[in-house]
Amino acid sequence: MIWELLWLCFTMFMAISIIMGIAPMLIIAERRVSAWIQGRKGPNRVGPQGLMQPLADITKLIFKEEIIPENADKYLFIAGPLLVFCPPALGFAVIPFGNAIGEYKLQVANLPIGILFAWAVLSVGVYGITLGGWASNNKYSLLGSLRASAQLISYELSLGLGILLIVMMTESIDPQQIVWNQVHQGFFGWNIFGGGNPLALPCGIVGFTMFFICALAENNRVPFDLAECEAELVGGYHTEYSSMKFAMFLLGEYVAMITMCGLIVTLFLGGWDIPFIHLEEQPTVFGAILSFGAFMTKMLVLLFSYLWIRWTLPRFRYDQLMGLGWKVFLPISLTNVVVLAIVGILWKGPIG
Protein backbone atom coordinates (compact mmCIF):
# COMPACT_ATOMS: atom_id res chain seq x y z
CA MET A 1 0.00 0.00 0.00
CA ILE A 2 2.66 2.46 1.06
CA TRP A 3 4.79 1.47 -1.94
CA GLU A 4 1.91 2.03 -4.31
CA LEU A 5 1.35 5.46 -2.81
CA LEU A 6 5.04 6.30 -3.16
CA TRP A 7 5.03 5.02 -6.71
CA LEU A 8 2.01 7.20 -7.47
CA CYS A 9 3.87 10.23 -6.10
CA PHE A 10 6.89 9.30 -8.21
CA THR A 11 4.91 8.96 -11.45
CA MET A 12 3.08 12.20 -10.73
CA PHE A 13 6.43 13.89 -10.19
CA MET A 14 7.67 12.42 -13.47
CA ALA A 15 4.62 13.55 -15.45
CA ILE A 16 4.73 17.07 -14.02
CA SER A 17 8.46 17.29 -14.72
CA ILE A 18 7.92 16.20 -18.30
CA ILE A 19 5.25 18.83 -18.88
CA MET A 20 6.85 21.64 -16.91
CA GLY A 21 10.28 20.81 -18.26
CA ILE A 22 9.39 20.64 -21.92
CA ALA A 23 6.92 23.57 -22.05
CA PRO A 24 9.52 26.30 -21.30
CA MET A 25 12.01 24.54 -23.54
CA LEU A 26 9.44 24.75 -26.32
CA ILE A 27 9.39 28.54 -25.95
CA ILE A 28 13.11 28.77 -26.65
CA ALA A 29 12.91 25.97 -29.23
CA GLU A 30 10.20 27.82 -31.10
CA ARG A 31 12.26 31.00 -31.21
CA ARG A 32 15.48 29.23 -32.17
CA VAL A 33 13.84 27.01 -34.82
CA SER A 34 12.07 29.99 -36.37
CA ALA A 35 15.38 31.84 -36.43
CA TRP A 36 17.22 28.95 -38.06
CA ILE A 37 14.54 28.51 -40.70
CA GLN A 38 14.66 32.23 -41.48
CA GLY A 39 18.46 32.26 -41.67
CA ARG A 40 18.93 34.02 -38.33
CA LYS A 41 20.57 32.91 -35.09
CA GLY A 42 17.81 33.62 -32.58
CA PRO A 43 18.15 34.40 -28.89
CA ASN A 44 21.49 32.95 -27.77
CA ARG A 45 22.72 35.37 -25.13
CA VAL A 46 20.98 34.25 -21.93
CA GLY A 47 22.84 31.22 -20.67
CA PRO A 48 24.54 28.65 -22.92
CA GLN A 49 22.95 28.78 -26.38
CA GLY A 50 20.16 30.94 -24.94
CA LEU A 51 18.77 28.08 -22.87
CA MET A 52 17.92 30.40 -19.95
CA GLN A 53 15.82 32.61 -22.23
CA PRO A 54 12.44 31.20 -21.03
CA LEU A 55 13.45 32.17 -17.48
CA ALA A 56 14.04 35.73 -18.63
CA ASP A 57 10.79 35.76 -20.63
CA ILE A 58 8.70 34.49 -17.75
CA THR A 59 10.37 36.82 -15.24
CA LYS A 60 9.54 39.74 -17.49
CA LEU A 61 5.93 38.58 -17.83
CA ILE A 62 5.51 38.13 -14.06
CA PHE A 63 6.69 41.66 -13.34
CA LYS A 64 4.43 43.27 -15.91
CA GLU A 65 1.26 45.03 -14.88
CA GLU A 66 -1.79 42.80 -14.75
CA ILE A 67 -4.70 44.57 -16.40
CA ILE A 68 -8.31 43.43 -16.19
CA PRO A 69 -10.46 45.52 -18.54
CA GLU A 70 -13.14 47.59 -16.83
CA ASN A 71 -16.12 46.04 -18.58
CA ALA A 72 -14.77 42.51 -18.55
CA ASP A 73 -16.47 39.71 -16.66
CA LYS A 74 -13.86 39.44 -13.95
CA TYR A 75 -14.32 35.81 -12.85
CA LEU A 76 -14.57 34.35 -16.32
CA PHE A 77 -11.65 36.51 -17.39
CA ILE A 78 -9.52 34.84 -14.73
CA ALA A 79 -11.00 31.40 -15.38
CA GLY A 80 -10.05 31.54 -19.07
CA PRO A 81 -6.27 31.05 -18.79
CA LEU A 82 -6.72 28.49 -16.01
CA LEU A 83 -9.00 26.41 -18.19
CA VAL A 84 -6.49 26.59 -21.03
CA PHE A 85 -3.57 25.56 -18.85
CA CYS A 86 -4.83 22.88 -16.45
CA PRO A 87 -6.97 20.37 -18.42
CA PRO A 88 -4.32 19.51 -21.05
CA ALA A 89 -1.87 18.85 -18.23
CA LEU A 90 -4.44 16.47 -16.70
CA GLY A 91 -4.62 14.60 -19.98
CA PHE A 92 -1.01 13.51 -19.60
CA ALA A 93 -2.01 11.42 -16.58
CA VAL A 94 -3.27 8.49 -18.64
CA ILE A 95 -0.35 8.33 -21.08
CA PRO A 96 2.05 5.45 -20.35
CA PHE A 97 5.51 6.96 -20.75
CA GLY A 98 7.62 3.86 -20.18
CA ASN A 99 7.73 0.15 -19.59
CA ALA A 100 6.69 -1.11 -16.16
CA ILE A 101 9.25 -1.82 -13.42
CA GLY A 102 8.02 -5.13 -12.02
CA GLU A 103 4.36 -4.53 -11.41
CA TYR A 104 4.65 -0.77 -11.19
CA LYS A 105 3.58 0.96 -14.39
CA LEU A 106 5.13 4.22 -15.58
CA GLN A 107 1.74 5.88 -15.87
CA VAL A 108 0.03 8.17 -13.38
CA ALA A 109 -3.53 6.82 -13.62
CA ASN A 110 -4.16 3.43 -15.16
CA LEU A 111 -7.69 4.16 -16.32
CA PRO A 112 -9.47 1.51 -18.42
CA ILE A 113 -11.11 4.34 -20.37
CA GLY A 114 -7.91 6.39 -20.52
CA ILE A 115 -8.15 7.49 -24.13
CA LEU A 116 -11.67 8.80 -23.62
CA PHE A 117 -10.47 10.68 -20.52
CA ALA A 118 -7.54 12.27 -22.35
CA TRP A 119 -9.89 13.15 -25.14
CA ALA A 120 -12.42 14.77 -22.84
CA VAL A 121 -9.90 16.91 -20.96
CA LEU A 122 -8.08 18.00 -24.12
CA SER A 123 -11.36 19.33 -25.50
CA VAL A 124 -12.00 21.36 -22.35
CA GLY A 125 -9.09 23.63 -23.35
CA VAL A 126 -11.24 25.36 -25.92
CA TYR A 127 -13.67 26.44 -23.18
CA GLY A 128 -10.84 28.50 -21.73
CA ILE A 129 -10.27 30.17 -25.07
CA THR A 130 -13.97 30.79 -25.61
CA LEU A 131 -14.63 32.05 -22.07
CA GLY A 132 -11.50 34.20 -22.08
CA GLY A 133 -12.40 35.75 -25.42
CA TRP A 134 -16.01 36.35 -24.42
CA ALA A 135 -15.18 37.75 -20.99
CA SER A 136 -12.71 40.26 -22.45
CA ASN A 137 -15.61 42.30 -23.86
CA ASN A 138 -13.67 42.95 -27.03
CA LYS A 139 -15.00 42.20 -30.49
CA TYR A 140 -11.68 40.85 -31.75
CA SER A 141 -11.37 38.50 -28.78
CA LEU A 142 -14.93 37.32 -29.29
CA LEU A 143 -14.30 36.64 -32.98
CA GLY A 144 -11.14 34.74 -32.11
CA SER A 145 -12.86 32.58 -29.55
CA LEU A 146 -15.81 31.90 -31.85
CA ARG A 147 -13.38 30.79 -34.51
CA ALA A 148 -11.62 28.51 -32.03
CA SER A 149 -14.86 26.79 -31.04
CA ALA A 150 -16.11 26.43 -34.64
CA GLN A 151 -12.73 25.01 -35.61
CA LEU A 152 -12.78 22.56 -32.71
CA ILE A 153 -16.20 21.23 -33.69
CA SER A 154 -15.11 20.76 -37.31
CA TYR A 155 -11.84 19.02 -36.60
CA GLU A 156 -12.75 17.02 -33.52
CA LEU A 157 -14.99 14.84 -35.72
CA SER A 158 -12.09 13.66 -37.86
CA LEU A 159 -9.92 13.36 -34.78
CA GLY A 160 -12.55 11.22 -33.03
CA LEU A 161 -12.76 9.01 -36.10
CA GLY A 162 -8.98 8.64 -35.91
CA ILE A 163 -9.36 7.36 -32.36
CA LEU A 164 -12.14 5.04 -33.50
CA LEU A 165 -9.61 3.62 -35.96
CA ILE A 166 -7.29 2.74 -33.09
CA VAL A 167 -10.14 1.32 -31.05
CA MET A 168 -11.06 -0.92 -33.97
CA MET A 169 -7.46 -2.08 -34.41
CA THR A 170 -6.82 -2.71 -30.72
CA GLU A 171 -10.37 -3.47 -29.53
CA SER A 172 -9.68 -1.47 -26.38
CA ILE A 173 -9.61 2.10 -25.12
CA ASP A 174 -7.13 1.36 -22.36
CA PRO A 175 -3.84 3.15 -23.18
CA GLN A 176 -1.80 0.31 -21.62
CA GLN A 177 -3.67 -2.21 -23.77
CA ILE A 178 -3.12 -0.09 -26.90
CA VAL A 179 0.60 0.22 -26.25
CA TRP A 180 1.03 -3.47 -25.34
CA ASN A 181 -0.84 -4.51 -28.46
CA GLN A 182 1.69 -2.58 -30.52
CA VAL A 183 4.67 -3.77 -28.48
CA HIS A 184 3.72 -7.43 -28.90
CA GLN A 185 3.39 -7.09 -32.66
CA GLY A 186 6.78 -5.42 -33.10
CA PHE A 187 7.71 -2.47 -35.33
CA PHE A 188 5.40 -3.35 -38.23
CA GLY A 189 2.56 -3.89 -35.81
CA TRP A 190 2.46 -0.24 -34.75
CA ASN A 191 -0.93 1.24 -35.39
CA ILE A 192 0.51 3.58 -38.01
CA PHE A 193 1.33 0.40 -39.99
CA GLY A 194 -2.06 -1.16 -39.44
CA GLY A 195 -1.68 -2.68 -35.97
CA GLY A 196 -0.59 -6.16 -37.06
CA ASN A 197 -2.97 -6.36 -40.00
CA PRO A 198 -0.99 -5.97 -43.26
CA LEU A 199 -4.14 -5.15 -45.22
CA ALA A 200 -4.77 -2.17 -42.94
CA LEU A 201 -1.43 -0.49 -43.77
CA PRO A 202 -2.97 2.29 -45.94
CA CYS A 203 -5.66 2.86 -43.29
CA GLY A 204 -3.00 3.31 -40.64
CA ILE A 205 -0.93 5.75 -42.68
CA VAL A 206 -3.92 7.79 -43.87
CA GLY A 207 -5.35 7.71 -40.36
CA PHE A 208 -2.08 8.94 -38.85
CA THR A 209 -1.80 11.76 -41.40
CA MET A 210 -5.39 12.86 -40.77
CA PHE A 211 -4.94 12.60 -37.02
CA PHE A 212 -1.74 14.63 -37.07
CA ILE A 213 -3.21 17.40 -39.22
CA CYS A 214 -6.35 17.55 -37.09
CA ALA A 215 -4.18 17.62 -33.96
CA LEU A 216 -2.52 20.75 -35.36
CA ALA A 217 -5.99 22.25 -35.75
CA GLU A 218 -7.05 21.10 -32.27
CA ASN A 219 -4.03 22.83 -30.73
CA ASN A 220 -4.67 26.05 -32.70
CA ARG A 221 -1.27 25.84 -34.34
CA VAL A 222 -0.25 27.29 -37.69
CA PRO A 223 -1.61 26.71 -40.34
CA PHE A 224 -4.83 26.50 -38.32
CA ASP A 225 -4.22 29.29 -35.79
CA LEU A 226 -7.19 31.33 -36.90
CA ALA A 227 -8.18 31.98 -33.29
CA GLU A 228 -5.17 34.21 -32.66
CA CYS A 229 -4.65 35.38 -36.20
CA GLU A 230 -2.58 38.55 -35.73
CA ALA A 231 -3.21 39.89 -39.21
CA GLU A 232 -6.97 40.06 -38.77
CA LEU A 233 -7.82 39.94 -35.08
CA VAL A 234 -5.01 41.88 -33.33
CA GLY A 235 -4.21 38.98 -30.96
CA GLY A 236 -7.43 36.99 -31.14
CA TYR A 237 -8.75 35.63 -27.87
CA HIS A 238 -5.77 36.86 -25.82
CA THR A 239 -5.88 40.48 -27.05
CA GLU A 240 -6.91 41.85 -23.64
CA TYR A 241 -4.66 39.61 -21.60
CA SER A 242 -1.42 40.79 -20.09
CA SER A 243 1.31 39.62 -17.76
CA MET A 244 1.10 36.10 -16.33
CA LYS A 245 -2.40 35.44 -17.67
CA PHE A 246 -1.04 35.89 -21.17
CA ALA A 247 1.82 33.57 -20.30
CA MET A 248 -0.73 31.00 -19.10
CA PHE A 249 -2.36 31.06 -22.53
CA LEU A 250 1.03 30.67 -24.15
CA LEU A 251 2.12 27.82 -21.86
CA GLY A 252 -1.32 26.21 -22.10
CA GLU A 253 -0.85 25.95 -25.84
CA TYR A 254 2.49 24.22 -25.35
CA VAL A 255 1.14 21.89 -22.67
CA ALA A 256 -1.71 20.92 -24.99
CA MET A 257 0.88 20.25 -27.69
CA ILE A 258 2.90 18.02 -25.35
CA THR A 259 -0.15 16.03 -24.28
CA MET A 260 -1.35 15.73 -27.86
CA CYS A 261 2.04 14.49 -29.03
CA GLY A 262 2.12 12.00 -26.15
CA LEU A 263 -1.30 10.82 -27.24
CA ILE A 264 -0.24 10.46 -30.88
CA VAL A 265 2.83 8.47 -29.81
CA THR A 266 0.64 6.21 -27.67
CA LEU A 267 -2.02 5.74 -30.30
CA PHE A 268 -0.03 5.43 -33.50
CA LEU A 269 3.71 5.22 -32.90
CA GLY A 270 3.90 2.29 -30.50
CA GLY A 271 4.15 4.21 -27.23
CA TRP A 272 7.47 3.43 -25.55
CA ASP A 273 8.32 0.57 -27.93
CA ILE A 274 11.82 0.60 -29.42
CA PRO A 275 11.77 -1.04 -32.86
CA PHE A 276 13.38 -4.52 -32.99
CA ILE A 277 14.35 -4.50 -29.32
CA HIS A 278 12.11 -6.60 -27.08
CA LEU A 279 11.87 -4.54 -23.94
CA GLU A 280 8.67 -6.18 -22.76
CA GLU A 281 10.64 -9.24 -21.67
CA GLN A 282 12.60 -7.31 -19.05
CA PRO A 283 10.52 -5.05 -16.83
CA THR A 284 13.65 -3.80 -15.07
CA VAL A 285 14.84 -0.33 -14.15
CA PHE A 286 17.21 -0.33 -17.12
CA GLY A 287 14.41 -1.36 -19.50
CA ALA A 288 12.16 1.32 -18.04
CA ILE A 289 14.79 4.01 -18.59
CA LEU A 290 15.36 2.85 -22.17
CA SER A 291 11.64 2.76 -22.93
CA PHE A 292 11.18 6.18 -21.33
CA GLY A 293 13.93 7.49 -23.62
CA ALA A 294 12.18 5.98 -26.64
CA PHE A 295 8.88 7.60 -25.68
CA MET A 296 10.51 10.99 -25.15
CA THR A 297 12.41 10.78 -28.44
CA LYS A 298 9.26 10.08 -30.40
CA MET A 299 7.39 12.84 -28.60
CA LEU A 300 10.18 15.40 -29.14
CA VAL A 301 10.38 14.54 -32.84
CA LEU A 302 6.65 15.16 -33.13
CA LEU A 303 6.95 18.42 -31.19
CA PHE A 304 9.76 19.51 -33.47
CA SER A 305 7.61 18.79 -36.51
CA TYR A 306 4.91 21.00 -34.95
CA LEU A 307 7.41 23.88 -34.86
CA TRP A 308 8.79 23.00 -38.27
CA ILE A 309 5.33 23.08 -39.84
CA ARG A 310 4.55 26.35 -38.09
CA TRP A 311 7.47 28.13 -39.68
CA THR A 312 6.89 26.62 -43.12
CA LEU A 313 3.22 27.05 -43.90
CA PRO A 314 1.09 30.18 -44.17
CA ARG A 315 -2.27 30.43 -42.41
CA PHE A 316 -5.45 29.14 -44.01
CA ARG A 317 -8.29 31.47 -44.83
CA TYR A 318 -11.29 30.86 -42.60
CA ASP A 319 -13.59 29.44 -45.31
CA GLN A 320 -10.75 27.24 -46.57
CA LEU A 321 -10.31 25.92 -43.06
CA MET A 322 -13.98 25.03 -42.73
CA GLY A 323 -14.08 23.58 -46.25
CA LEU A 324 -11.03 21.42 -45.54
CA GLY A 325 -12.50 20.16 -42.28
CA TRP A 326 -15.96 19.26 -43.51
CA LYS A 327 -15.44 18.47 -47.19
CA VAL A 328 -12.06 16.76 -47.20
CA PHE A 329 -11.05 15.42 -43.79
CA LEU A 330 -14.44 14.14 -42.66
CA PRO A 331 -15.14 12.07 -45.82
CA ILE A 332 -11.60 10.69 -45.86
CA SER A 333 -11.78 9.73 -42.17
CA LEU A 334 -15.21 8.14 -42.58
CA THR A 335 -14.06 6.17 -45.62
CA ASN A 336 -10.97 5.15 -43.71
CA VAL A 337 -13.04 3.75 -40.84
CA VAL A 338 -15.33 1.82 -43.23
CA VAL A 339 -12.36 0.44 -45.17
CA LEU A 340 -10.66 -0.62 -41.93
CA ALA A 341 -13.84 -2.39 -40.81
CA ILE A 342 -13.99 -4.37 -44.08
CA VAL A 343 -10.25 -5.10 -44.03
CA GLY A 344 -10.40 -6.15 -40.39
CA ILE A 345 -13.16 -8.66 -41.09
CA LEU A 346 -11.21 -9.97 -44.10
CA TRP A 347 -8.10 -10.51 -41.96
CA LYS A 348 -9.49 -11.75 -38.67
CA GLY A 349 -12.86 -13.15 -39.65
CA PRO A 350 -16.22 -11.70 -38.56
CA ILE A 351 -16.01 -12.81 -34.93
CA GLY A 352 -12.54 -11.46 -34.24
Span 301-320, contacts to other proteins by CB under 8 A: 308-309, 311-313
Taking the complex as a whole, how short is the minimal distance between the CB of residue 31 and other proteins, in angstroms?
Answer: 13
Contacts (Cβ under 8 Å, ≥6 apart) of 285: 101
The secondary structure of residue 106, as a DSSP letter, is: S
Burial category of 286 from C-beta neighbours within 10 Å (exposed 0-12, middle 13-18, buried 19 and up): exposed
* 40 contributes a contact to other proteins by CB under 8 A: yes
Taking the complex as a whole, how short is the minimal distance between the CB of residue 225 and other proteins, in angstroms?
Answer: 16
Segment interacting with other proteins (CB under 8 A) among 30-38, 138-146, 228-236, 237-245: 30-38
The secondary structure of residue 329, as a DSSP letter, is: I
Taking the complex as a whole, how short is the minimal distance between the CB of residue 168 and other proteins, in angstroms?
Answer: 24
Which CB, 40 or 348, lies closer to other proteins? Answer: 40
Task: Tell me if residue 241 falls in helix, strand or coil.
Answer: coil
Segment interacting with other proteins (CB under 8 A) among 35-43, 81-89, 92-100, 139-147: 35-43
* In contact, 263 and 68? CB cutoff 8 Å: no
The string of DSSP letters for 252-284 reads HHHHHHHHHHHHHHHHTS-TTPPTT--GGG--S
Taking the complex as a whole, how short is the minimal distance between the CB of residue 36 and other proteins, in angstroms?
Answer: 4
Number of residues that bind other proteins (CB under 8 A): 15
* 64 contributes a contact to other proteins by CB under 8 A: no
* 25 contributes a contact to other proteins by CB under 8 A: no
Binding-site member from 14, 25, 35, 52 for other proteins (CB under 8 A):
35
Span 197-226, contacts to other proteins by CB under 8 A: 209
The secondary structure of residue 317, as a DSSP letter, is: P
Burial category of 182 from C-beta neighbours within 10 Å (exposed 0-12, middle 13-18, buried 19 and up): buried
The secondary structure of residue 100, as a DSSP letter, is: -
The phi and psi torsions of 104 (rounded to 5 degrees) equal -90, 120
Which CB, 139 or 317, lies closer to other proteins? Answer: 317
Binding residues for other proteins, per CB under 8 A?
Answer: 33, 35-41, 44, 209, 308-309, 311-313
